Amino acid sequence: MPEIRNYTLNFGPQHPAAHGVLRLVLEMDGEVVERADPHIGLLHRGTEKLAESKPYNQSIGYMDRLDYVSMMCNEHGYVLAIEKLLGVEVPLRAQYIRVMFDEITRILNHLMWLGAHGLDIGAMTVFLYCFREREDLMDCYEAVSGARMHATYYRPGGVARDLPDRMPQYEASRFTSKSAAAKLNETRQGSMLDFIDDFTQRFPKYVDEYETLLTDNRIWKQRTVGIGVVTPERALQLGFTGPMLRGSNVEWDLRKKQPYEVYDQLDFDIPVGTNGDSYDRYLVRVEEMRQSNRIIKQCVDWLRVNPGPVLTEDHKIAPPRRGDMKGDMESLIHHFKLFTEGFCLPEGEAYAAVEHPKGEFGCFLISDGANKPYRLKVRAPGFTHLASLDEMARGHMLSDVVALIGTQDIVFGEIDR
Amino acid sequence: MLEALRSAFPDNASIQQSLDLIVMDVAPADLIAVATELRDNDTLAFSQLSDLAGVDYATYGHDEWATDTENNASFSRAVNAASTGSLTFNTGLELPASDRPRFLVAYHLLSLDHNMRLRLRCAAADDAMPVIPSVIAIWNNANWYEREAFDLFGILFDGHPDLRRILTDYGFTGHPFRKDFPLIGNVEMRYDSVKERVVYEPVSIEPRVLVPRVIREDSRYVAGETPKKDDA
């Protein structure tokens, strides 16, 4: 009988299931993983160091590029840290807009995760379904900021501008026929809030579709049930947050426990898993999409009847209106100072955390009183999750490693920073 | 929570509320004992390490543009470095003298039972060789965080089982988040078609700063006070 040797397997960095640029060095015993050593940093751009060299507002765009599937939530963590040090008040309408876009982002992220996770372990259809809905939400991003992904929409003191009255329309092209464009434009006739409202009516049915494809699917269950079980005690030790922690039956959500913006005035539930395996984390995330949909609906209803400012009137921090600049000397000076030098933060330290789709996204900001951060540390949820891959993968088969990477919702933009 | 902390650590005078969390300083020698107490004491129960951040205080409080005096050469003040900033990206500049320890590690702890956050700060005694005990045994996820702080700042963690670089390239030299490390780096990489391999060369791009770093004495932010609305 031939002797079976342990051997080392190199997985990635160019592998479709590595979710970007993950290089995994796997020590295998036959097909069983004995040790997994993730090599990260292949996407390291030094975001934190770059932020140190720029005025505060110029780094908002970098935050989008951290976790590049949940852009606005990253911005949120960053502007919250600045606002905490400044002590600036955010208008109520801006808070509702932020919450609405945080939840839109959560759905965007979870759809991306569901599609990619499904694809990794053999379900092609759900990927196509998810990307269909992502298009609609990306259009909301585009309508409000002009960019489909990297929005740079949040500002210290509010958001860049109010919601538009009109949605961008599709035009017939080589890729979209006239009738297809007309069909797409059907729901885009009213204001942006009408469109989102319509989306929240449609979305629960879509989630039912995904669940029909997966929840009771025998193959899906075989690939996820009992894979990567994490006990609540280990989940805390490993620094899990977000759906990873809730999948392990720990009821912890910053939106409920340390509410920021207007989350304490909204009605939603926090789903938790019981077994702490990949299947439970799947169920948690699917239910989170339904809850996000509820939150969006409540925000839309509030925003419809409550017009108002969306950016602070403190012009040391937010630029004055264009019209004022033309006639008012003070406004002109404010504008000039803001765009040439930026604003200075008081000396101090602040840590602001938001419930990002992947977990707790925190920004630790140290200011020495300058117009640039002295030190910015981004606490990326995926970083600690990936660090636990070694422990989660031990004793599993090689094919389960792919399922584990999927269930951890790994995105390298935030891990490598 | 503030009282619970003060009664658990009666010798520590640094415990104070700062914005929405509690800050506490600790010496490297006491770190392990304090961290164990923070986790295991039921009135504290900081069961999770949220974040670990290295900080380099080398140029703290120094700006690139002197604002306390006026002269008629505003622009050249901006292009001639007033201190070691990232203005010229020149590693030849001396770091300003400072009496505070250069390297510090900030731990952000979370107590799920009491819904409270704590920032634990531990400054390394020796600037040339900063050593801080590892907290992996107390919070297991410190492993990668400490590797990151080692990689980016060169802070050594005593007792870490596997202190390798994590974010930078294989074979990288230097610690890129130190304040004397230039923003554009020291080497650039390209594919050499003659040698048919990737080659490293000294950086060729010109350094450029669009907005100089400047510290304003702002009367709205007098130490400790929250900013007031001003009518201007």
pLDDT in tens, A182-218: 988 888 888 899 999 999 999 999 999 999 988 888 9
What are A113's two structure tokens? 């995760």
What are A194's two structure tokens? 């009408």
pLDDT in tens, B111-168: 988 888 999 999 988 888 899 999 999 998 999 999 999 999 999 999 899 888 898 8
Q: How confident is the model at residue B64 (pLDDT cuts 50, 70, 90)?
A: low
Tell me how far the alpha carbon of residue A323 is from its chain's centroid.
35
CA angle, residues A281, A285, A291, in degrees to nearest 5: 140
pLDDT in tens, A77-114: 999 999 999 888 899 999 999 999 999 999 999 999 99
Top residue of A244, A316, A349 to mutate, by most chain B CBs within 10 Å, is A349
pLDDT in tens, B156-174: 999 899 888 898 888 888 8
Q: Which of A40, A48, A349 sits opposite B166 (nearest CB)?
A: A40
CA–CA distance, A146 with A148 (Å, rounded to integer): 7
pTM greater than 0.90:
no
pLDDT in tens, A366-398: 998 888 899 999 999 999 999 999 999 888 888
Q: How far is A267 from chain B (nearest CA, A)?
A: 21
Interchain CB distance below 8 Å, B211 and A341:
yes
Identify the pLDDT of residue A100.
Answer: 93
Q: How far is B8 from chain A (nearest CA, A)?
A: 22
Q: How confident is the model at residue B219 (pLDDT cuts 50, 70, 90)?
A: low
Name every chain B residue with its beta carbon within 8 A of the beta carbon of A346.
218, 220-221, 227
Residue B83 touches partner A, C-beta closer than 8 Å: no
Interchain CB distance below 8 Å, A387 and B169:
no
Interchain CB distance below 8 Å, A48 and B209:
no
Residue B186 touches partner A, C-beta closer than 8 Å: no
Q: Which of A84, A252, A353 sits opposite B112 (nearest CB)?
A: A252
Interchain CB distance below 8 Å, B51 and A377:
yes
B3 CB-near residues (< 8 Å, 6+ apart)? none
Identify the pLDDT of residue B221.
Answer: 62
pLDDT in tens, A271-311: 999 988 999 999 999 999 999 999 999 999 999 999 989 99
Q: H/E element holding A286? A: helix A278-305
DSSP letter string over A100-146? HHHHHHHHHHHHHHHHHHHHHTT-HHHHHHHHHHHHHHHHHHHHHHS
Identify the pLDDT of residue A120.
Answer: 87
Identify the pLDDT of residue A102.
Answer: 93
Q: Which amino acid is at B67?
A: T
Identify the pLDDT of residue B229.
Answer: 47
Identify the pLDDT of residue B85.
Answer: 43
Identify the pLDDT of residue A1.
Answer: 59
Q: Residue B178: pLDDT above 50? A: yes
Q: How far is B9 from chain A (nearest CA, A)?
A: 23
Interchain CB distance below 8 Å, A384 and B141:
yes
Which of A206, A208, A104 lies closest to A153, judged by CA?
Answer: A104
Name every chain B residue with its beta carbon within 8 A of the beta carbon of A55.
211
Interchain CB distance below 8 Å, B221 and A347:
yes
Contacts 24+ apart (CB under 8 A), A121-124: A121/A220, A121/A223, A121/A224, A121/A402, A121/A403, A121/A406, A122/A219, A122/A223, A123/A213, A123/A214, A123/A217, A123/A219, A123/A220
Q: Residue B81: pLDDT above 70? A: no
Q: Average pLDDT, stretch B53-59?
A: 88
Average pLDDT, chain A: 89
Identify the pLDDT of residue A313.
Answer: 87
Q: How confident is the model at residue B95 (pLDDT cuts 50, 70, 90)?
A: low
Q: Average pLDDT, stretch A258-276?
A: 90
Name every chain A residue with its beta carbon within 8 A of the beta carbon of B23.
349
Q: Which of A88, A369, A383 sits opposite B215 (nearest CB)?
A: A369
CA–CA distance, B38 with B47 (Å, rounded to integer): 8
Name every chain B residue with its beta carbon within 8 A of the beta carbon of A353.
50
Closest residue in B to A333 (Cα–Cα):
B232
CA–CA distance, B50 with A254 (Å, rounded to integer): 13
* Chains A, B: CB pairs < 8 Å: 133
> Other CB atoms closer than 10 Å to residue A360's CB: what's the count?
27
Q: How confident is the model at residue A2 (pLDDT cuts 50, 70, 90)?
A: low
Identify the pLDDT of residue B88.
Answer: 46
Alpha-helix residue ranges (DSSP H) falling in chain B: 2-8, 31-40, 74-79, 142-153
Top residue of B50, B162, B225 to mutate, by most chain A CBs within 10 Å, is B50
Contact A110, A357 (CB under 8 A): yes
Q: How confident is the model at residue A8 (pLDDT cuts 50, 70, 90)?
A: confident
Residue B119 touches partner A, C-beta closer than 8 Å: yes
Q: Which amino acid is at A417?
A: R
Q: Residue B71: pLDDT above 80? A: no
Interchain CB distance below 8 Å, A238 and B47:
no
Top residue of A344, A365, A367, A414 to mutate, by most chain B CBs within 10 Å, is A344
